[in-house]
Structure 1
Amino acid sequence: MEDINEVDIEEIETERQPVTETPELVELTTTSPEKPKLVKLPLARIKHIMKMDPDCNLVSQDALFLVTKSTEMFLEHLAKESGKFMGMGKRKTVQKRDVDAAIDNIPSLCFLDGALE
């Protein structure tokens, strides 16, 4: 029986394929003193805003991360859409009127109508 186990182990070791390390894998597996930042907005500020709601007593770390990440994604979408209207005006600076135009013309942003006033 010992011979069979040794053969099995040798077969398994020869079947293994070398793992190629991508930059993302190296970044996630390295033990650096600084953790890579997964979000750009300050978590404490988002948590404070979430706790302003009287129905919200506790905020879990998972919920905080998800709300922060979704807020970043929403702001990125709004900025890209506003940038398109800025480009139509042949300008290099996003102005309030570009954000207003994006809100007025993009159906998914219509819930923001009147929010900037």
Structure 2
Amino acid sequence: MDQKGHGNPPQVMGVGTPVGYPAAAAAPYQAYHHLYHQQQQQQQQQLQLFWADQYREIEQTTDFKNHSLPLARIKKIMKADEDVRMIAAEAPVVFARACEMFILELTHRGWAHAEENKRRTLQKSDIAAAITRTDVFDFLVDIVPREEGKEDAINRPMGAPATDPLAYYYVQQ
């Protein structure tokens, strides 16, 4: 078992034939395994493009008055911490942008999970799967629990890795 409690994928010998599988069963497995890895690579590329676009957008921002999230609400949340005494005018603006990026990435990862399951509707289970698969979102595991009876292993293709195929990317300039 890995650190997230998932089983390891079957051991593979040669070019993708699972150990213990008859040779006749290898062809469909190899094709499915190849398709799965192709999909994961595409999702990784999409995530890298997402972060590159985020950096580009940040660098080009000159108007700090338009926000997707209400600054008054952000400031109220910041003041909820008893250790916070004063808040500089720029802090809620930066915090709001960070929240937007957090929501966008979580949604992006959830959407990737929905597409893996051949759905076009984002569900709570997709967000929960994105949280479970991404180490940086571990702090949300108790806030967005997985639905009972829907284990990630059931939705994962045979032989697919249990850990996040969309490793957290930080694109440096």
AA aligned to 1:103 is I
Q: Which has the larger radius of gyration?
A: 1
**Residues 36, 49 of structure 1: alpha-carbon distance in 2 compared, 3 angstrom cutoff:** closer
- Work out the CA distance in 2 between the residues paired with 1:94 and 1:74: 17
- Work out the CA distance in 2 between the residues paired with 1:83 and 1:110: 18
State the Cα RMSD in Å: 1.7
* Alignment counterpart, residue 110 of structure 1, candidates 106, 127, 138: 138
TM-fit CA distance, 1:93: 1.3
TM-score by length of 1: 0.65
AA aligned to 1:87 is E
Larger fraction in helix: 1
Instruction: Quote the residue 1:17 is aligned against.
Output: none
- Work out the CA distance in 1 between the residues paired with 2:86 and 2:144: 29
AA aligned to 2:130 is A
Which whole-Å deviations, capped at 9, do the CAs of 1:39-85 have from their partners, x for residues lacking one? 21110111111111111121111111111110111111100001000
TM-fit CA distance, 1:37: 4.7
TM-score by length of 2: 0.45
Runs of 4+ in 1 over 3 A off after TM superposition: 35-38
Which residues of structure 1 form unaligned runs of 5+?
1-27, 29-34
- The SS at the match of 2:122 is coil
* Alignment counterpart, residue 99 of structure 2, candidates 67, 71, 74: 71
TM-fit CA distance, 1:38: 3.9
Instruction: Quote the residue 1:59 is aligned against.
Output: 87
Superposed counterparts of 1:1-117, under 5 Å: 37-117=65-145
- The SS at the match of 2:119 is coil
Higher relative contact order (CA 8 A, sep 6+): 2
Which residues of structure 2 form unaligned runs of 5+?
1-61, 146-173
Say how many residue pairs are matched.
84
